Structure 1
């Protein structure tokens, strides 16, 4: 069995493409693949977001606004995941479509509309998104990224659970690169030690996710 951790900026177009590549691979491959989209929030993610929007990196007010918005989107995603991985992924994809394609601004109304469209229990979701479990899940994701030495979004770590020494880190990959790695035709590089992140870490990353 293979495990894929995809570290994403939820509001970056490249990460949307990366998510599609992972979903496509999981559908195309004859191997059993478990995957986890892990939202990443750090200074690199924020600055890259500002740069992509043409905003000066020294605009501290805008940097803070972007940071808070990304944090809220991530908490919403974690809360949606509490109602099942499929609903959580659908919620994330729908939010990305609304904000990146339709250019809608983040708002409470948008979050509610997307949650309802994804058939998420709204009362439970609204309580969870402001609860401690969502915040703890966010913190667990950031610790996982730190253990794997991930600093940039659009990074994937692939583990073969039958091999206990290393996982492989891919940065800024495409579908062909990811497929070659999974099929064993790509030489490993940027190894991630399994003592830092193992199959047990994958299970811990999905804590509270049904």
Structure 2
């Protein structure tokens, strides 16, 4: 069995593509794959998000606002996950579509609408999104990222639980690279440059 941890900025377009690649992989591969989207929040994530919006990283007000929005989105995602992994993933994908594709601004009303669209118990969700349990889940994710030396979003860690004692960290990947790694067609100890169309791909053994 394979375990895939995808570390994401929930409000980054590239991370949405990475999520779609992992979902596609789970359907395309013959192997049993368990996967988890792990939201990441640190200074690198915030500054990259601002840069993609054409905002100077030195704009502390914008940096604080971006950080707070990401934090709220992550707590919302955690609250949705409390009602099941599938509902949680559907909530995240729907919220991303509303904000990144439709251009809607984050608000409590938007969050409620998305939760209802995803058949989430709204009363329970509204209580959970402000709970200590959601905050603890957030901190657990950040500890996991630290333990795996994750500093950037769009990073995937793959564990083959049946064969190896180590995990493989894949950064700046595309679908072909992820597919080859999961299906044993990519040697973690070889240089990736000539094995993939994604020239910036980096592979590390943990």
Instruction: Sort the TM-score into its range (normalised by shorter chain).
Output: over 0.9
2:161: which partner in 1?
A: 161
2:205: which partner in 1?
A: 191
Q: Secondary structure at the match of 2:67?
A: helix
Instruction: Report whether the alignment pairs 1:174 with 2:177.
Output: no
Q: Which moved more, 1:156-165 or 1:28-37?
A: 156-165
Query: How far 1:8 sits from its partner (Å)?
Result: 0.1
| Whole-angstrom distance in 1 between the partners of 2:53 and 2:60 | 15
Residues 33-71 of structure 1: per-residue CA shift (max 9 Å, x gap): 000000000000000000000001110001000000000
1:197: which partner in 2?
A: none
| Whole-angstrom distance in 2 between the partners of 1:58 and 1:149 | 25
- The 5-angstrom pairing of residues 61-210 of structure 1 reads 61-188=61-188, 189-192=203-206
Query: How far 1:163 sits from its partner (Å)?
Result: 2.7
Query: How far 1:164 sits from its partner (Å)?
Result: 4.0
Q: Secondary structure at the match of 2:11?
A: coil
1:202: which partner in 2?
A: none
The alignment's TM-score, normalised by the length of structure 2, stands at 0.92
In structure 1, runs of 5+ residues without a counterpart are 193-210
| Whole-angstrom distance in 1 between the partners of 2:89 and 2:111 | 14
2:55: which partner in 1?
A: 55
Aligned length: 192
| Whole-angstrom distance in 1 between the partners of 2:38 and 2:26 | 16
Q: Secondary structure at the match of 2:75?
A: helix
2:195: which partner in 1?
A: none
1:207: which partner in 2?
A: none
The alignment's TM-score, normalised by the length of structure 1, stands at 0.91
Structure 1 residue ranges (4+ consecutive) displaced by more than 3 angstroms after TM superposition: none
Query: How far 1:187 sits from its partner (Å)?
Result: 1.1
